[in-house]
Amino acid sequence: MLASTGLTTVNAASAAADAYACPAGYFCGWSGESATGQIYKTNKSVADLGAWDNRIRSYVNRTSSIACVYEDRNYAVSGGYFPDRPAGAGAYSSYPTATTSSIKFVPTERECSQPAYPVRSGSPRPPHRPCGVHRQTVALPGPLRRPRRARPGRLGRLERHGEPHRQR
């Protein structure tokens, strides 16, 4: 097992290389169709499959993430890719031509070809004003009088969060 990349390669003779040989939490690929031949396992994104480049002919995604399977190294979208959703035990997909060169695990299909979230530009959102900030008080002349709430008509129309104040 290559610990730094999270890869495992097992010969068909040492393990039953079928769709049930792929443990939960891994993406597995086989050198033959119908989940036969040597098995490749990974649970981490791999930008370059190295010796397994263009050798995977059948595969299953047993992770909880979407596996973006690229035909070029370094997750290059230009060569083509497809998102593979998680599957259960015993499930697999197969194709006659081996073209897989890199695999990336992402939470959404969008992230196979685009950044996780668009970059937000412009001014930030204005701070939230808690309830009650829209109320205004007016001090009346005289030393002992309490301040009163302003009423429409005396000071004009008051606004609350950008809306005209309504009388009750």
The residue ranges of every structural domain in the chain are: 7-112, 129-168
Q: Is the pLDDT of residue 155 over 80?
A: no
Asked whether 84 and 91 are in contact (CB, 8 A), the reply is no
Report phi then psi at 8, rounded to 5. Answer: -135, 135
pLDDT digits (tens, 9 = 90+) for 90-147: 888 888 888 999 999 999 999 999 988 766 666 666 666 555 555 555 555 555 555 5
Tell me if the pTM is above 0.75: no
Cβ atoms within 10 Å, residue 25: 11
User: Which long-range contacts link 156-163 to residues 24+ away (Cβ below 8 Å)?
Assistant: 158/134, 159/134, 160/134, 161/129, 161/134
| Domain 7-112, second-level architecture | Sandwich (2.60)
Give the model's pLDDT for residue 6.
44
Q: Which residue, among 106, 26, 93, 94, has the nearest Cα to 66 in the 3D structure?
A: 106
Rama region for 34: left / alpha / beta (φ>0; ψ in -120 to 50; rest): left
